[in-house]
Amino acid sequence: MKTYKGSGKKKCAIARVFFKIKKNKIKVNNLNIDEYFNKKLNYKLIFDPIKLTNSKNLSIKANVRGGGKSSQIMALRNGLAKALLNYNIKYKKILSDNKLLTRDSRMVERKKIGRVKSRKNKQFSKR
């Protein structure tokens, strides 16, 4: 049975996604998906590539590190879309039309010298 893989990124979060055509099981860092991402987070976004391509019986295993939980969800979504593309090249049009293959390149701007944050200044007093 062949394993398909893809990697996704968002900010500092990196997700490596592997899947096989087996029974429905999703493990993130060796935990069930609802154990790793609590119920309050909208981790349903991860299933967008699966719903769009009508893929069934995927046994997904993912390693996620870095960033916050929300960034990890988006990185996992991106990695899963890329793994599905490795599985079937015909999915490219569907996934790219829904912008699931593009990496969100927005990063946190670095802090500058003499400032409080990247753009925030110290309060100026004239007198």
Instruction: HSE, CB side, 13 Å, CA atoms: give it for residue 65.
Output: 3
pLDDT confidence of residue 118: 96
Report pLDDT for 64.
96
Residue 122: per-residue pLDDT: 92
Distances (CA, A) of 113 to 51, 116, 119: 47, 8, 10
**Residue-range domains of the chain with CATH:** 4-97 (3.30.230.10)
Low-confidence ranges of the chain (pLDDT < 50): none
Compute the mean pLDDT over every residue in the chain, rounded to the nearest whole number: 92
What per-residue confidence (pLDDT) applies to 1?
81
